[in-house]
Amino acid sequence: MEETEIPSLVEKYNNSRTRLLDILQAVQNQYGMISESSIDQIATAMGIHRADVLDAVSFYSFFRRQGQGHASIRIPRCPACSAFESEQLAEKFQKTLGIKMGSTTSDSRFSLQWTSCIGLCDQGPAILVNGSVFTRLSPEKVDSITNKLKTTGILDHGQEFPQIQNACGPNSKVDSNIILPGPVFFQPIQKGAGLWKALSGSPERVIDEICSSRLRGRGGAGFPTANKWNLTRYSRNTAQRVVVGNADEGEPGTFKDRVLLSEAADLVFEGMTIAGYAIGAQEGIFYLRAEYAWLWPHLNEIITKRRTQHLLGDHVCGHENFHFDIRIQLGAGAYICGEETALLESSEGKRGAPRDRPPYPTDAGYLGKPTAVNNVETLACVTRILEKGSEWFTQYGTKDSVGTKLFSVSGDCDRPGIFEVPLGITVYDLLALAGAINSAAAMVSGPSGEIIGPKDFGRKLCHEDLRAGGSIMVFGQQRDLLAIVQEFQKFFSEESCGYCTPCRAGTPILETMFAKIVEGRGTHGDWEELLDFAGTVKRTSRCGLGQSAANPIVSTSRNFPELYQTRLQAVDFTSRVSLDEALADARQIMEKQI
Amino acid sequence: MSELVTIFVDGAEIQTSPGKTVLQACDAVGVFIPRLCYRPDLIPAGRCRLCTVRINGRYAGACYTPVANGMVIEHQTPELQRDRARIIEMLFVEGNHICPECEKTGNCDLQACAYRLNMLAPTLPYRYVTRDIDATNPEVFIDRSRCILCGMCDVASRHVDKKTVFAFENRNGEMRIAVDSRKGLIGTPIRASDKAAQVCPVGSILIKGTAFQSPYGERTYDSRPIGADIEEASKIHGAVSVAEPEGNDQT
């Protein structure tokens, strides 16, 4: 097929190698997929190697390559959602379309795929169709969705948002579910208030103010924001500084950024602008995960409005020397891109493989420029701190973990949604707010965090105690915790970027070793070996993904040893393969017992 | 020249010049840190992780971490030795490595590291993957069953040969080395004389017509283990030499 539009799509992005992801997205939007011949034509039009285009296309799960359908239906396979019947939903889709999960209809119109968490755990089961989202589904609604998709002609071109959403109407409503608003994020926003205060003083004074607020990054690592800005501002690298807003919220069970961006995106963009002023940057990149592509029109509108109000662009707020603008970089489906160096690689139009450090992004980040990568929640805090003062901010939280924090609570509780609470709150108190009674376990900060039992519910969510990434997934007594762990181990091996041996080869091995125990064929020795192997993966993996990939296994082994012990065989050795299973095919063929 | 820096490797004090990596500093004094994806003439990428050491309490790859004054490095701890043996084991079970039928046997870094680290038979579960062979090119072929995704062919092709014959495709366990043509290697400008055709540490990228040229007993690792060249070089140059090592070029 001759895809004649490709040169003009490439031209639209100034033929920039850095914008390869946007170009691929545009090609997919135009032709429904990225065919092998598209890859050739993109490479030719851009004057780069085909292998480099293929490298990017094949890395991200949201790019549809040849052989996949024009409409890709993605059903999240996440324990928080499956509580709400996503298995039944998948079954119904398979029946309606006559295909299995992971395959494509013969007319190339539909593909069915499992996907990781799409950040709608509070209103599941939800699905993504290309870029559009459908929430609170039930098997009864499946026919109407597929029928509408068939009749609107969208499938001929496999278009993305918002065409599908418009065609299918009110199904796609997303609620914010703010159960407990707090003083920082969900109060009325006076646009520009924080920014004006920042611009009325020197950049150094802005950093001083953030320093006195003792704000730590909200992405999980908890690095002091003022330190990061100082490192970027005073880097010896003389290149232009860059601010990156990290909205690649991929940790399963986390949806606080989704709500923050729906309700208070102005705080985030203003925080980026303030950061730009503080570190001396003119360029801002806002990296939005592909699962939130449906938020793009909303965010773009806000950015456009801020430009007309002189809160972005040349001479921000009339300031003589300060110019700053933001572009949205849409991701393409890869959990690893939440890691800041992988995010930078991805923003440069490459596969999202993390980088070695040093150099740190503060010295050589986006295109080798000193770059401050901040989580969107951190940036929202920045705006409020400038607006209301650091003293106001420090009245919340603990000594070492200042301020309030957004938590996404999902799973087995009466009130799933968003809670803004001071850092240092106990797990118990947060669970009580969400109406989670008699819970068996809570997964704190996603699968890369820790799964804890009631004996640890008194622990505090803050830097000094339990790392507070932003999510709590609650599991009731009826749940099979080890089956949940198994899902998350699958998640890690699926999302491994493949760069280093221990993560790429080790995560599937963790899965296999763990399966033997879950299926009741493991011995005490197998369990010990599993934990020992987990240690190797943790120590030798290159980035946080591999280093935390065994956390579901390690934390449940520590906190719920009885779940393992009851499944172990009381013998010294059991075979890895079950003889009966291994012989099943042969027996069937030979129709006799062997 | 700038002043020397001092690092401590397993308690031993080593003087080295700034700008070197931990692995280079160790090589220079005859301390061999196992590695599969590092060569002195290519930019390190830290993919195989075999050179993982503990630097000031944190684990990092020795091949890409620059030395800094006062660094305390743990290298030969029982835990790290076991981790390295396990990484070798992971690579064996991830692909299809059948040493007796492989023409690289005896000259293979993966095999040699396995012997050196005493990983004599994998016990981890095999993946039993099906991987293809690209024999389209008259000079060079790829057997992806044996690829360990070290990326050295890619680095060599881009930075030495200036050709970009290779790139990666897919992610996770599905990741594979791809070539810059839909036709396979024949559609690329690779030649047997290219660096990219010569740097494969295992039997994945091989030059046609060169198999089994050295008899048993005369292969690279028949008489001495991998790393012996580095350890022996230091005996000649003295224990605190800061000279560049010869490198273990096996081509």
Nearest CA in chain A to B85: A536
**Strand extents, DSSP E, chain B:** 5-9, 12-16, 52-55, 58-61, 72-74, 133-134, 140-143, 166-169, 176-179, 205-207
pLDDT > 90 in chain A, percent: 77
* The residue count for chain B: 251
pLDDT per residue as tens digits for the range A424-439? 999 999 999 999 999 9
Instruction: Judge contact between A182 and A421, C-beta under 8 A.
Output: yes
CA-based nearest residue to A74, from A101, A105, A46: A101
Separation of alpha carbons A75 and A72, rounded Å:
10
Residues of A in contact with B59 (CB under 8 A): 539-540
Q: Tell me: pLDDT of A9 over 90.
A: yes
Instruction: Judge contact between B88 and B50, C-beta under 8 A.
Output: yes
Indicate the pLDDT class of residue A125, thresholds 50, 70 and 90: confident
- DSSP assignment letter at A445: T
Q: How many CB atoms neighbour CB A329 within 10 A?
A: 23
CA distance A55 to chain B (A): 5
**Identity of the residue in B66, B125, B169 whose CB atom sits nearest the CB atom of A576:** B125
Q: Which residues of chain B have pLDDT under 70?
A: 1-2, 235-251
* Token pair for B130: 């099906």
Separation of alpha carbons B196 and B204, rounded Å:
12
DSSP string, A125-140: S-EEETTEEE-S--GG
Helix (H, G, I), strand (E, B) or coil at B103: coil
Sheet holding A371-375, edge to edge: A325-330, A281-288, A241-247, A371-375
Average pLDDT along chain A: 92
B94 shares contact with chain A (CB less than 8 Å): yes
pLDDT given for residue A540 in this prediction = 98
Amino acid at A541: S
Across the strands, what pairs with A375?
A246
Task: Determine whether the interchain pair B49/A540 forms a contact, defined as Cβ–Cβ distance below 8 Å.
Answer: yes
Residues of A in contact with B165 (CB under 8 A): 51
Task: Determine whether the interchain pair B49/A506 forms a contact, defined as Cβ–Cβ distance below 8 Å.
Answer: no
Task: Determine whether the interchain pair A51/B179 forms a contact, defined as Cβ–Cβ distance below 8 Å.
Answer: yes
Give this complex's ipTM: 0.93
pLDDT given for residue B241 in this prediction = 41
Separation of alpha carbons B11 and B15, rounded Å:
13
Q: Tell me: pLDDT of A162 over 60.
A: no
Indicate the pLDDT class of residue A172, thresholds 50, 70 and 90: low
**Identity of the residue in B46, B178, B182 whose CB atom sits nearest the CB atom of A542:** B46
Task: Determine whether the interchain pair B172/A533 forms a contact, defined as Cβ–Cβ distance below 8 Å.
Answer: no
pLDDT per residue as tens digits for the range A309-364? 999 999 999 999 999 999 999 999 999 999 999 999 999 999 999 998 889 999 99
* Token pair for A487: 């899902």
Tell me the helix, strand and coil percentages in chain B, rounded to 5: 25, 15, 60
- The helix-helix angle for B78-94 and B109-116 (nearest 10°) equals 140
pLDDT per residue as tens digits for the range A10-22? 999 999 999 999 9
CA-based nearest residue to A507, from B125, B207, B218, B149: B125
CA-based nearest residue to A270, from A195, A186, A188: A195
Start-to-end Cα distance in chain A: 53
Q: How far is CA B13 from CA A120, A122, B244, B245, in A?
A: 55, 57, 18, 19
Q: How many CB atoms neighbour CB A542 within 10 A?
A: 27
Indicate the pLDDT class of residue A170, thresholds 50, 70 and 90: very low
Q: Tell me: pLDDT of A160 over 70.
A: no
Q: Beta strands A132-134 and A127-129: pairing type?
A: antiparallel
pLDDT given for residue B245 in this prediction = 39
Separation of alpha carbons A303 and A266, rounded Å:
8
